[in-house]
Amino acid sequence: MSFPKKFFWGAASASYQIEGAAFEDGRSLSVWDTFSHTAGKVKNGDTGDIACDHYHRFREDVALMKELGLKAYRFSISWPRVLPDGTGKVNEAGIKFYSDLVDELLKAGIEPFITLFHWDLPKAIYDRGGWRNREIADWFAEYTKVIVDALSDRVRFWMTLNEPLCHIMLGHHTGHHAPGEKASDKEIVQMIHHMNLAHGKAVKIIRNYAKTPAVIGFVPNPSTGIPLTDTKEDIEAAKAYTYSGAARGLFSNGWWLDPILLGKYPKDGIEAMGEDFPADVIKEGDMEIISQKLDFLGLNLYFGTFISHDKSGGFYEVPKKPGYPINALKWPVTPQIMYYMPKFLYEKYNLPIIIAENGISLPDWVSLDGKVHDPNRIDYMHRYLRELKRASEEGVDIRGYFAWSILDNYEWAEGYNERFGLIYVDYETQKRIPKDSFYWYKDVIASNGANL
């Protein structure tokens, strides 16, 4: 069997990671511009000033997407490119770039999927309190309205937030990402709530003003519990771990999924926080705004944790075996997540699933024959897609898969140290070289996954 007939075979990117043109055509600074230009924050002092120069080369890149046979392309909008002050005056040059990109995609027969926020918060908004300021929900709604007015005559698919956990926890709690803060748990929950409000208000804006019928979701990167064995006890333990609001503190899935999808914060998470839970931040009517009806759940899936049951009926994380498979970033290779995670979350939240990101970083280089051979990426994608296909065949409503990423790009605090792309980028010359995985994925798309 292949995947559903109208399955979206896609690839993904994010604005700060590929666009470059950081100081051109009226774009203002984002928190990632200031963070990357701060000594010691990013490997090798790398910045996204030029990145893949996609801003100037998007037509070349879309031509490669067409050659690949993509049915869909997921990209994010740079908030500071279209609203340099975060609110107020619109930068028409920024809007034109995204409008031209959408036109180019549609001309190539590729469905645009827009992500409204993929971490590049305008510095102007951060300077006004950022996610600590409740007003950010209205500022985000204003920004959303600008994008909807400009693009919704041609764009149907919308994702509000990408990996809110990473942006808040790594950016504001551990300090590893922009803006580099180390806030308390109490402050973090406040930021989570304001981000959730921003999401809810954005959904309402899209529903009310979209010029074509809108299909809306958001994209968390949930922690995945993989049952150690296929026994009922281990499956239930892995499910409990996946659904928990306390298993990993504020990194637990309940904090990032339940408010938006169920309209409530996780009871076990609140109990674990005790007096640190800032109940006063939640105002009357907030949860109704936050839990707007969605059309799909986007998932960014890379690796998971093996879970087993204990004698008390609980669960525990199973220690990793010596020499377990890893990628260049030392992340585990665990294809089972593509079966269990869609299955577990579809069962709990009953929303169609789109895999919004999945891929692997490898130490790719150009071989003597001028090509980029990446057999391990092909093997990785093959293993993960087979598991996704199994979930689909067992009745999980899976609508699409987006490979991360279309191009090698700026990997946040890792700079240009990591290569996730289906297309190799020589950052000195900006030459693009499709890797072997590009041609393998092209065949998968052409067969609708029947050849997996």
> What are the tokens at 380?
């990785």
Render pLDDT for 211-241 as a digit per residue (tens, 0 to 9): 999 999 999 999 999 999 999 999 999 999 9
Structure pTM?
0.98
Please give the CATH architecture assigned to the domain spanning 8-446.
Alpha-Beta Barrel (3.20)
pLDDT at residue 1, rounded to an integer: 64
Active site residues: 163, 357
Give the model's pLDDT for residue 313: 86
Binding residues for substrate: 17, 118, 162, 302, 404, 411-412
pLDDT digits (tens, 9 = 90+) for 334-362: 999 999 999 999 999 999 999 999 999 99
Q: Where are the domains of the chain?
A: 8-446
- Span 388-413, average pLDDT: 98
Instruction: For residues 92-121, give the mean pLDDT.
Output: 99
